[in-house]
């Protein structure tokens, strides 16, 4: 959770729903983002994630996202990854999405929830994510385990900090 002093709920929602600019707000983790469709508070979004640790993993994802205005000062959202594909040879002429049976299994499924409440002169923002990985192949635990065990916490901390920074920057405009 993070507190954004001086912010309003509307400012936080404006940043979170500005998917076409998530590649600047959340770089380098989000490389590309684009709203595919929007119907009021229902978004379908393409996002490309890159994560570097011991190894680099790149994923193309499609997200189904719903926002809910709980009251004048509270809102929440739920995002479901409806499609996740690991990218081989990213940013080269040989780039391609791996088939599900040939990917590394680093990211198999993802659900994300945001909760926001405006009070105490700002907005409290909470982010919770559940990511699933496949089993780590025998003999590769030493290489892959640091990636799958430390990335979730680091990603949440980065995401909350980047959200705070983006909202504060929007408030200065």
Pair 78, 63: CB distance under 8 Å: no
Residues 17, 18, 24, 30, CA torsion sign: positive
Record the pTM: 0.86
Q: Which residue has the higher pLDDT, 140 or 22?
A: 22
52 — alpha (psi -120 to 50), left (phi > 0) or beta? beta
Q: Higher pLDDT residue, 89 or 12?
A: 12
pLDDT reading at 118 higher than 60: yes
Between CA 33 and CA 154 the distance in angstroms is 20
The pLDDT score that the predictor gives to residue 139 is 60
Q: Angle, to 10 degrees, between the axis of helix 141-171 and the axis of helix 9-16?
A: 130
CATH of the domain at 30: 3.30.530.20
Measure the CA–CA gap between 58 and 92, rounded to whole angstroms: 13
What's the pLDDT band for 19 if we cut at 50, 70, 90? very high
Confidence of residue 135 (pLDDT cuts 50, 70, 90): low
**Are residues 48 and 31 in contact, defined by beta-carbon separation less than 8 angstroms?**
yes
**Whole-number pLDDT of residue 131:** 75
Cα 88 from Cα 91, distance rounded (Å)? 9
pLDDT given for residue 89 in this prediction? 86
The reported pLDDT for the residue numbered 22 is 97
Mean pLDDT, rounded, for 140-156: 63
Domain carrying residue 124: 2-171
Output the six-digit token pair for 31.
Answer: 């490389």
Percent of the chain with pLDDT over 70: 86
Tell me the per-residue pLDDT of 106-117, one tens digit each, with 9 for 90 and over: 677 889 999 999
Q: Structural domain tally of the chain?
A: 1
The Cα 111–Cα 128 span in angstroms is 8
Cα 91 to Cα 19, 21, 26, 58: the distances in Å are: 21, 20, 19, 10
């Amino acid at each position: 959770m993070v507190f954004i002093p001086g912010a309003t709920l509307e400012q936080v929602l404006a940043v979170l729903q500005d998917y076409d600019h998530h590649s600047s707000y959340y770089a380098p983790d989000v490389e590309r983002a684009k709203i595919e469709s929007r119907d009021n508070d229902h978004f379908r979004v393409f996002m490309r994630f890159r994560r570097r640790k011991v190894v680099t993993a790149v994923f193309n994802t499609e997200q189904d996202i719903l926002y809910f205005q709980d009251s004048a000062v509270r809102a929440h959202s739920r995002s479901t990854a409806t499609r996740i594909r690991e990218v081989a040879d990213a940013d080269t002429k040989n780039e391609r999405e791996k088939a599900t049976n040939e990917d590394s299994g680093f990211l198999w499924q993802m659900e994300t929830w945001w909760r926001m409440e405006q009070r105490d002169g700002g907005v409290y923002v909470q982010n919770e994510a559940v990511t699933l990985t496949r089993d780590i192949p025998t003999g590769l635990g030493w290489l892959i385990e640091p990636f799958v065990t430390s990335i979730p916490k680091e990603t949440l901390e980065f995401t909350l900090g980047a959200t705070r920074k983006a909202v504060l920057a929007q408030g200065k405009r």
